[in-house]
C-alpha cells in the first residue's frame, strides 16, 4: 500500500466549476430526451397522416360512383392497418360523397408512450361524379 505523499488540499475552489459543468451536462441530456420525445411524436403524427390519407382515399374509392365495392369501413380499416395505424372513426356523407376518417398511430418511445400512447389525425376524401 502506498501512502499519499502530496500536499493536503487547501480548498475546493475548482469544485464549483465542476458542478456547473456537470449541471450543464444534465441539462443537455434532458434536452436530448425532450428532443427525442418531440421527434417521436412528430414521427407518429407523420405516420398517422399517411395512414389517414390512404384510409380516406381507399374509403372514397369504394363508392359505386368510383367503381368500388361499397364497403368504406373495411377498406379504410385495412389501409390504416397496413400503414401501421388504427382507424378510430369513419364518417360517410352519402351525397355528395365525402368520407372523413380519424386515424391514430402509436408512439414508440417508452417515455412518450406512457404519456401520449397514440397520436391521431383526420383526413377527408370526396368523389366528384
Partner 1 sequence: MVLGARQGGAPQRAPLRSETGSQSIELLLVLPVVTLLLVLVACAGLLGADLVAAQAVAREAARSAAVGDVDAAHSVATAAADRRTIELELVPGRPSAGEVVTASVRLRSRAFEALGADVWLPGQATMRVEGR
Q: Which stretch binds partner 1 (CB under 8 A): 81-89, 91-99, 109-117?
A: 81-89
Q: Assess 83 for contact with partner 1 (CB under 8 A).
A: yes
C-beta closer to partner 1: residue 83 or 107? 83
- Interacting residue with partner 1 among 28, 111, 115, 126 (CB under 8 A): 28
Q: Which stretch binds partner 1 (CB under 8 A): 4-12, 87-95, 96-104, 112-120?
A: 4-12
- Residues across the chain: 129
| DSSP conformation letters of the chain | -PPP-SPPP---HHHHHHHHHHHHHHHHHHHHHHHHHHHHHHHHHHHHHHHHHHHHHHHHHTSGGGT--S-HHHHHHHHHHHTT-EEEEEEEETTTTEEEEEEEEE---HHHHHH--EEEEEEEEE---
Interface positions, 38-57, toward partner 1 (CB under 8 A): 38-39, 42-43, 46-47, 49-50, 53-54, 57
Q: Which are the contacts of 72, defined by CB distance < 8 A and separation ≥ 6? A: 58, 59, 60, 62, 63, 90, 92, 99
- Interacting residue with partner 1 among 66, 111, 115, 126 (CB under 8 A): 66
Residues that bind partner 1 (CB under 8 A): 6-7, 9-11, 13-14, 16-18, 21-22, 24-25, 28-29, 31-32, 35-36, 38-39, 42-43, 46-47, 49-50, 53-54, 57-58, 61, 66-67, 75, 79, 82-84
Amino acid at each position: 500500500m502506498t501512502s499519499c505523499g502530496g500536499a493536503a488540499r487547501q480548498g475546493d475552489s475548482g469544485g464549483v466549476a465542476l458542478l456547473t459543468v456537470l449541471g450543464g451536462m444534465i441539462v443537455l441530456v434532458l434536452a436530448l430526451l425532450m428532443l427525442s420525445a418531440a421527434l417521436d411524436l412528430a414521427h407518429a403524427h407523420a405516420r398517422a397522416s399517411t395512414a389517414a390519407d390512404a384510409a380516406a382515399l381507399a374509403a372514397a374509392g369504394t363508392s359505386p360512383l368510383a367503381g368500388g365495392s361499397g364497403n368504406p369501413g373495411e377498406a379504410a380499416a385495412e389501409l390504416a392497418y397496413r400503414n401501421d395505424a388504427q382507424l378510430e372513426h369513419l364518417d360517410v356523407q352519402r351525397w355528395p360523397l365525402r368520407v372523413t376518417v380519424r386515424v391514430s398511430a402509436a408512439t414508440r418511445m417508452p417515455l412518450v408512450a406512457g404519456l401520449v400512447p397514440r397520436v391521431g389525425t383526420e383526413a377527408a376524401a370526396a368523389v366528384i361524379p
